[in-house]
Amino acid sequence: MSTSGPGRSLLPATWKVHLPIFEGPLDLLLQLCKLNRVEITELPIATVCDQFHEYLDLMDELNLDIAGDYIYVAALLIHLKSQSLLPRRKTVSGEPEEDAREDLVRRLLEYRRLKDAAQSLAEVDSVRRDVWGRLGRPDVPPGEEPVWDIGEVSLFDLLSALKQTLDRYEREHPPPIRLQAETFSVRDQFERLLADLAPGRPFDLLDDLRLRSCRAEAVATFLAVLELARLHLIRAHQTDGGEILLYRTTREIKRHELEAIEG
């Protein structure tokens, strides 16, 4: 599986990491058995199927190449999951038919035996290198950084660590709560004041402004008062105590004047 691609590398060129050879989707299934702490012979198809597809989705998000054998195993798991939901049919002899998981379980057991044998050979080779060491590395030119070998860490160990990090980040950084700002139109305040004002009865503007829910509503109310004064629908009077009183005039507002008010 390759993570290279044009414009995708965000690390310096000297930061080279060599991943061990990855044998395919069976390695992922072994990792999932280890993650769920179950034996291969007790493979929980439904759980493993869902987790397998989660990892494929993560690989797709990271722009990793997903080979056809992964897609084949994903389809096989879906098939096995659907069969596990149905009652097992009986053969001609009356015995229940073979468990659909058995072929996959046999392949996983054989793969694990081969992987353990390869690991044993790798450990022997490592011991020999420690006993009969070599001077330097002829494949690394002088002045260049050596390639890092991360040893037994597989690609899905790294993916698992990344997935846990992303899940923890999502839990600890929930999306921000976005509140829709409330808007107040001048025309609404104009109509409200026009309904509250009555001829011959004073209307305390400052008291009304103090009752507004926020600054935006107070500003809209003030602009509506200016419109009322411009149309000669009110007259304003300031008392010695500083109050501003509004009085409704006898003039009636025309329809086109009301429709012309915007904001």
pLDDT tens digits, residue range 141-185? 666 666 655 556 666 777 777 888 888 888 888 888 887 777 889
Half-sphere exposure of 171 (CA within 13 A, CB side): 6
| Angle, CA 111 vertex, CA 105 and CA 115 arms, to 5° | 145
Q: What is the pLDDT of residue 22?
A: 41
State mean pLDDT over 52-75: 78
Residue type, 256: H
Altogether, the residues listed in the chain come to a count of: 263
Residue keyed to tokens 């590398």: 9
| Strand 234-238, strand 148-149: pairing | unpaired
At residue 23, what are phi and psi to the nearest 5 degrees? -85, -5
Domains assigned to the chain = 17-172 (no CATH), 186-259 (1.10.10.580)
d(CA 103, CA 73): 12
For residue 249, CA distances in Å to 7, 196, 234 come to 72, 13, 5
Span 49-77, mean pLDDT? 79
Distances (CA, A) of 160 to 58, 157, 179: 10, 5, 36
Paired residues of 18 in beta bridges:
149
pLDDT digits (tens, 9 = 90+) for 242-263: 889 999 998 888 888 888 887 6
Q: Give me 60's structure tokens.
A: 């797709």
The vertex-234 CA angle with 228 and 235, nearest 5°, equals 125
CA distance 101 to 77: 9
Q: How confident is the model at residue 208, as a pLDDT? A: 92
- Rounded to 10 degrees, the C-alpha dihedral 139/145/146/150 comes to -150
What is the average pLDDT value for the chain, to the nearest integer? 76
**pLDDT tier for residue 199 given thresholds of 50, 70 and 90:** confident
Rounded distance, CA 208 to CA 57, Å?
Answer: 58
